[in-house]
Amino acid sequence: MNQSEWNLAKAAAQQGKVAIVTGANTGLGYETSLGLAEKGMKVVMACRNMQKANRAKEKIKDKYPFSDLECRQLDLSKLKSVRSFVKDFVKDYQSLDVLINNAGIMIPPFSLTEDGFESQMAANYFGHFVLTQGLSKLLLKSDKSRIISLSSIAHKQGKIRFDNLHSEKKYDAMAAYSQSKLACLIFAIELQRKLEQADSKTISLAAHPGVSNTELMRYLPRWSKLIAPILSPFISHNPKKGALPTLRAALDDSANGGDYYGPNGRRELKGKPIKIKPRRKALDVELANELWKKTEELTDCTFSI
């Protein structure tokens, strides 16, 4: 198959399989859940706001009345909430085929979470690290399961600042977002290394949507929201298309562990979902080891395969 020819219609039916999508109530997470439901997968919509989650579930049900959906409460910026989600999930489920670490926030005003983490690093990265670790036993015993982490074009500007990980010295909102998205990509690639070393059939992949007008843009300055309608046809695509790299990572039979999917257009802003290259920094083994160790220490969560 030509690299850019993949679409959802080409993906095999997924009846009997179970996925978790974090941040499933809106934007890309919603479109990803819709796509998985269309293929017959059971989708557990892991969201921080149950009202929003239930509304999104009803919307999918309206479209696919026979879809199998469940909403569960999960706040990724609170490790207590992540651990409680994991505890209940592993009690209730015997398998997990796809974990989509999608939820995220971008450039909010500075705040520290109850665990002492900068809020973007908390929700985008640390929460998903602990979630994946907690679910890893279940994932590993599920045949050919997949873990997908959401990165961003912004990872290209990202630096892991071990001396300012929680923006304690200085808060630059975009630098903290880019750091979190680089961390997500490093995590996806390092996790794949560990899975390979353990000879596991579970694979870890990453994806980014390009640019898509979603609620992620809520903290952008007013002026940029005013010019967005003029620019967006040239630099972005709708969330349905933005979700395709994630869906490809989750469903394409020819995908391999460590693959990174994004749009094929200019500067990866929009287009069809293809395999793309992460920045070299994201492949740095030494950096990955240091980040992994630091994350284990900060989250009090040992993650070995």
- Binding stretches for ligand NAP (CB under 6 A): 22-23, 25-29, 47-49, 52, 74-77, 102-106, 123-124, 150, 152, 208-209, 211-212, 214-216
Of 14 and 33, CB closest to ligand NAP: 33
Give the separation between CA 216 and CA 213, rounded to whole angstroms.
8
Query: Would you call 177 a catalytic residue per the annotation?
Result: yes
Of 72 and 196, CB closest to ligand NAP: 72
Smallest separation (angstroms) from ligand NAP to the CB of 77? 4
176 touches 167 (CB < 8 A)? yes
Which residues, in sequence order, are CB contacts of 120 under 8 Å at separation 6+?
104, 105, 106, 107, 108, 173, 176, 177, 179, 180
CA atoms within 13 A on the CB side of 305: 20
Give the separation between CA 248 and CA 70, rounded to whole angstroms.
22
Of 27 and 257, CB closest to ligand NAP: 27
Smallest separation (angstroms) from ligand NAP to the CB of 166? 16
Of 3 and 238, CB closest to ligand NAP: 238
**Chain CA centroid to CA 84, Å:** 20
Name the token pair of 273.
């979902």
CB atoms closer than 10 angstroms to residue 298 = 17
Which residues, in sequence order, are CB contacts of 72 under 8 Å at separation 6+?
44, 45, 46, 47, 85, 88, 89
Smallest separation (angstroms) from ligand NAP to the CB of 42? 19
The active-site residue, picked from 30, 64, 171, 177, is 177
Smallest separation (angstroms) from ligand NAP to the CB of 214? 3
Smallest separation (angstroms) from ligand NAP to the CB of 162? 22
- Tell me the Ramachandran region of residue 147: left when phi exceeds 0, alpha when psi lies from -120 to 50, beta otherwise: beta
**CA 176 vs CA 120, 170, 269, 279: distances in Å:** 7, 10, 21, 18
Smallest separation (angstroms) from ligand NAP to the CB of 304? 25
- Report which of 217, 23, 259, 41 is spatially closest to residue 128, judged by C-alpha positions: 23
Give the separation between CA 15 and CA 187, rounded to whole angstroms.
29
| 305 burial level (CB within 10 Å; 0-12, 13-18, 19+) | middle
Of 23 and 200, CB closest to ligand NAP: 23
Q: Which residues are catalytic?
A: 177
